[in-house]
Amino acid sequence: MHQNNDLYHHLLNKAKQLTDDWYNSIDKSSATGVYASTDETVIARLKAQNYSFHEHLIQVFVEEDESFFHSFEEWVNEIASDLGHQTTPTHIILREFLNVQDQYVSMITGFAKENEDKYSNREVNLWISIVLKAFGKIITRFVEVHDMLATKRLKSQQALINELSAPVIQLQAHMGLLPVVGEIDTQRAKYLLENTLSECTNKGITHLFIDLSGVNMIDTMVAMQIFQLIDALKIVGVKTTLSGVRPEIALTAVNLGLDFKDIKIAGNLSQALQIK
């Protein structure tokens, strides 16, 4: 049986020392993310999080597995969602987990030496095995939550970037401008289609100028989606004028057999705005 009150209380009494020793062992010259912060508030929070980890982990020596891991879930979610840890590379966080793991192996080994007549090697090896198992599960769960939240944040940021990079600008007399800048991939082209239709409807735009002068290259799929946007706008009663179409884009469209005959085209935005 791995549960042991003496070991539990020994580790509990050493928790603050474990936190201080761990923080002092961080190589500040190569540390990144939250571990490199010099802000006293951030440092205090980081130490408190580490101390809380010890308070939770040592419960493995007095609780059943199910109860132990259930109580750890709250700590994992809190740390994984912490902004400091969200902006720290995952491999750096894992390195610190392993450093703390080494502390526990060393601390248990030291406890065993102090009580060598009381506990067998089998018991000591079982304690170490239980700690390694706990760290493995906690690290795995932490990475799952950390990466899930990071992905969610990136999607949110990408949505914001899409919104800011594809604005439908209200002009006068029910006219609008869609300046498209940068690389257009399939995902962004889809957003352009959905957002532009919605914005034109909401703003009462009946004539939209689509300027592509800021687009260097588009692939076949994206070219088709731009023409789908024009067709969709036509269905909802919005006229379109294209400007700034580069030769490469025009060539791609021609090779696809896309029809320009019903589309007003201007060399640049200035010329496009003269088209009624």
Identify each DSSP E strand in 61-174 by its residue range. Answer: 169-170
User: What is the reported pLDDT for 275?
Assistant: 66
Burial 200-231 (b: 16+ CB within 10 A, else e): beeeebebbbbbbeebeebeeebbbbbbebbe
CATH 1.10.490.10 is the classification of domain 5-163: yes
User: What is the reported pLDDT for 100?
Assistant: 96
How far is Cα 71 from Cα 225, in angstroms, rounded to an integer? 50
What's the CATH number for 169-272?
Answer: 3.30.750.24
Q: Contact at 8 Å (CB) between 75 and 52? A: yes
User: What is the reported pLDDT for 150?
Assistant: 81
Tokens of 234: 């036509």
Q: Show Cβ contacts of residue 216 under 8 Å, excluding neighbours closer than 6 positions.
A: 183, 246, 248
182-196: pLDDT as tens digits: 777 777 777 788 888
| Alpha-carbon radius of gyration of the chain | 30
Residues in the chain predicted with pLDDT less than 70, given as ranges, are: 1-2, 157-166, 218, 259-261, 275-276
222-273: pLDDT as tens digits: 777 788 888 889 899 999 888 887 777 777 777 777 766 677 888 777 877 7
User: What is the reported pLDDT for 48?
Assistant: 96
Domain ranges of the chain: 5-163, 169-272
Strand arrangement, sheet containing 169-170 = 169-170, 175-181, 207-214, 239-243, 264-266
Return the closest-CA partner of residue 162 out of 184, 143, 188, 124. 188
User: What is the reported pLDDT for 166?
Assistant: 61
User: What is the reported pLDDT for 169?
Assistant: 86
How far is Cα 60 from Cα 55, in angstroms, rounded to an integer? 10
CA distances for 106 relative to 48, 111, 131, 136, 186, angstroms: 22, 9, 11, 17, 53
DSSP SS3 for 71: helix
User: What is the reported pLDDT for 134?
Assistant: 93
User: What is the reported pLDDT for 163?
Assistant: 58
